[in-house]
Structure 1
């Protein structure tokens, strides 16, 4: 099966009805009004135009991410705020995830589990990259929240808790029901208490301590920790197996293993093709015209990020990304993902360990069902470097 056949299978397995609709809308043009759904944006330049205008297109109105997540995370997290309050919190968080800090954090937290992973590959063992990625993502988010969880079983359990919350959301979900909110809070409230304890300790070597030093109030720090927990673990854990699969299926894995300078390009290209945020939602607060379409206050704008990204074509390490597409999967403008440096630091470090074991052969895989971000339920690999 060719590279994009597997990617298409992942999306169809995760979203058997919504995905064909999403791809069908891409053929309707760069922007189209769909009754009952909203105004759908399929072109990267228009998507960036919407995302850059935080006054017109907001995340805190009806049909926006704020309506979905505020009952779970509270009112003071970046993904459901706008205006002066959002800008002020964003400024205080600007120095939280610097590249040097995130690289050092991942080096420290992932050293032991990556050494164990490398050892298994070196012995010729078959490794499930889906499980390994979940464990590693759980290890990092444990550090971010302030959990004293140092065993792989703890990290795996933490990831599964977040997965249960995120899996309640589909591409069509506008808001969570009371029972869903209660289930999410049953997971997040204890984690928030742990994060608050780390915040109170004030150790600036920890993420929670850094947030306190940066001037965040306790409720803001707890909300940020919850948002990182829900959005960061799935992005990293789902991308890693798909990155390896894309490189292997396209025949590029040996090339990237031999020329590590290509790794960042490979990560960006894999992010474009997999699109960890398939859609982004905005609520319209004042009249606007985008791509010739009049948009009214109260409208819901659905940015089909997947359509925008896939419009460039299939996975190809030689194709440059145009400026309007650059890391669009992490957003743009005032809501560009603040955790981007942490996510890429994790992905880069794990990918290097895997490439060290090249040549790798995929020995089995299966697509996951009932997930928001399409992914593999299993992707097993074995190093062929073992005699």
Structure 2
């Protein structure tokens, strides 16, 4: 069952990241399944209702005013899954469907993470303190480097790559409608050089690389370049923030040694961590046709905020033994045609790192500190070590 430290630390992380917006979102959670908030939009707090909105791509779209398209089209261009709808979206989605198969992502993580995970395991088993936040930055940087086609094997370069993505994503808050021209320019200064590298990997056509696979799957150079940028922005930080919070929740709830002793529980623990932490706390849609949502009438041009965090936390505190109801079903990664295409890669990466950490159990938390100025709530430092026998 959940314990006080779990609730206290998760709330602390959200308040550090979003000191003004988070308390408002939690107040809105008590206002019913849907509520219109002047100056904000129509807020959705119910998982079943959120799923209905996400599955109705004709009425609620990602490419209108107040949608993700407003945020990311100036940075990534018009042809990435983040900002597309209709036939163009379906066509690109079909091309990408076989990119991150579970078998391929497991093999990719084994290849890319073997050496850094071996070093992590050695440090833990020697009883040395490990900052899991820093370790995840290196590991996530290594994977995204491979995806884009960077030829780097240096941990400092991996950290730098991660920090570049973090700087771009941190320009977005829960209240952001669109990036300013100066923010777009800063983001392009980060992404354009990475896009050039991705384009070279695409041109080389090596099907052992992700960019080469995109070419083989029929993506155009522009589509592949946009996809690489989207993976860089949306996948890196999601995975890097997940594992420290997984270990923290298991530790604080007294479940860490149970999962360490029974590896079959790891996927359940990861899914429950994703529900509680909700890596996408808010999802945006633009209304394109009149409709009624949870008793609230919406009109074309209205902005809809699906508060995924409220939808997911309504099902209670962290509990490995409570099954997820059907309406959740990985809602934090979207639903229907917009379900996150990088989900298998994110899970393979998190699974590989979590296994390595759990093999060192029992584990003690040496110190931790919440991060400020980030979009996805996370720890700034999270130092662990193997507990003394």
Q: Same-fold call, TM > 0.5?
A: yes
Matched residue, 1:202: 205
User: Which of these residues, 365, 373, 377, is aligned with residue 376 of structure 2?
Assistant: 373
What's the CA shift for 1:13?
0.7
Deviations 1:196-240 (A, max 9, x none): 000000000100000000000000000000000000001000111
TM-score for both structures, normalised by structure 1? 0.99
Matched residue, 2:39: 36
Matched residue, 1:70: 73
Alignment partner of 1:105 is 2:108: yes
Alignment partner of 1:148 is 2:151: yes
Matched residue, 1:169: 172
Matched residue, 1:182: 185
Aligned counterparts, 1:285-304, within 5 A: 285-304=288-307
Q: How many residues end up aligned between the 2 structures?
A: 386
Matched residue, 2:262: 259
Q: Which runs of 5+ in 2 are unaligned?
A: none
Matched residue, 2:356: 353
User: Which of these residues, 279, 283, 289, is aligned with residue 282 of structure 2?
Assistant: 279
User: Which of these residues, 206, 210, 223, is aligned with residue 220 of structure 1?
Assistant: 223
User: Which of these residues, 268, 273, 276, is aligned with residue 271 of structure 2?
Assistant: 268
Q: C-alpha separation between the residues in 2 aligned to 1:309 and 1:144?
A: 30
Q: C-alpha separation between the residues in 2 aligned to 1:7 and 1:326?
A: 22
Deviations 1:23-80 (A, max 9, x none): 0000001100111000000000000000001111000000000010000000110000
User: What's the secondary structure of 1:6's corresponding residue?
Assistant: helix
Alignment partner of 1:24 is 2:12: no
What's the CA shift for 1:149?
1.1
User: What's the secondary structure of 1:27's corresponding residue?
Assistant: helix
TM-score for both structures, normalised by structure 2? 0.98
Deviations 1:114-171 (A, max 9, x none): 0000011111110000000111000000000000011111111100000000011100
What's the CA shift for 1:174?
0.4
Q: Which runs of 5+ in 1 are unaligned?
A: none
Q: C-alpha separation between the residues in 2 aligned to 1:289 and 1:21?
A: 23
Matched residue, 1:93: 96
Matched residue, 1:129: 132
Aligned counterparts, 1:311-326, within 5 A: 311-326=314-329
Deviations 1:274-294 (A, max 9, x none): 000000000000111122221
> Runs of 4 or more off by more than 6 Å in structure 1?
none
Q: C-alpha separation between the residues in 1 aligned to 2:54 and 2:253?
A: 32
